Structure 1
């Protein structure tokens, strides 16, 4: 498991290869995007909350079924803070797929999903995305699974519930969006 990050916010050249695929993870601040990334790449989540400033890039080798070799997943973890909106818009180029994350204990983050989808479609209209309800381990839900599934059905996208804390469906979410992206972009010969 690798988690390489450049200091300037751009991909470390040694992380990029012909089998690299760029996946964006978007959503409001504090919905657990960085925790999902850390759960996937490091197997643990940060014990304290620090907002993502701009963008962090995480790297993970991912073995996909029927793939001839592992893919280098470059996960662009975009800050959910509004003040970074203009920075995000310039960084979507090359995105092959995205996870749109909301917090099941925050109705506001669920309502904001439409804004994140609009931003994605504006910047990378051909990239598929998966709707992800994070913090499914929490008891104080404000968004029911049925409500989120209905939104996903209306959008024509898959929906998964995850828990960065216990790792539930974290790998599944990233594998699912990677497969969708590979099916959309046939240039990845490894699949």
Structure 2
């Protein structure tokens, strides 16, 4: 989906969001972890690395079930919009706000 976003909205920043954080925490010490079925969870480090690789404006993890990180995801989305401007050539730049 990233190539499509970059094609149709080349100068719009996006945030990569890791969802279902509750599942990683639920299976942390369980024997029936999805990795035993050929699947595995994305670590925070790997998610952050991918967000850097695809030039995302940020990386947030959240769980709709437990609500952990949901507010942070929305806060980060708003922050990204408010600190991003377009230059005259259509390129996106990020403002530094302290």
TM (norm. structure 2) is 0.62
Picking from 50, 59, 62, the partner of 1:159 is 59
Partner of residue 17, structure 2: 132
Deviations 1:89-129 (A, max 9, x none): xxxxxxxxxxxxxxxxxxxxxxxxxxx21111111111111
- The structure with the largest strand share of the pair is 1
Report the count of equivalent residues: 71
Structure 2: distance between partners of 1:181 and 1:156: 15
Q: Of the candidates 109, 113, 117, which is equivalent to residue 2 of structure 2?
A: 117
> Normalized against structure 1, the TM-score is what?
0.34
Which stretches in structure 2 are left out of the alignment for 5+ residues? 28-32, 34-39, 87-98
Runs of 4+ in 1 over 6 A off after TM superposition: none
Q: Aligned equivalents of 2:81 and 2:70: distance in 1?
A: 17
Segments of structure 1 that go 5 or more residues without pairing to the other structure are 1-115, 187-191
SS at match of 1:137: helix
Task: Provide the residue aligned with 2:41 in structure 1.
Answer: 142
Q: Quick one: distance in 2 between partners of 1:175 and 1:119? A: 25
Alignment of 1:29-178 (within 5 A): 116-138=1-23, 139=27, 140=33, 141-157=40-56, 158-178=58-78
Secondary structure of 1:149's counterpart equals helix
- Note the C-alpha offset of 1:144: 2.0
In 1: Cα distance, 2:15 partner to 2:3 partner = 14
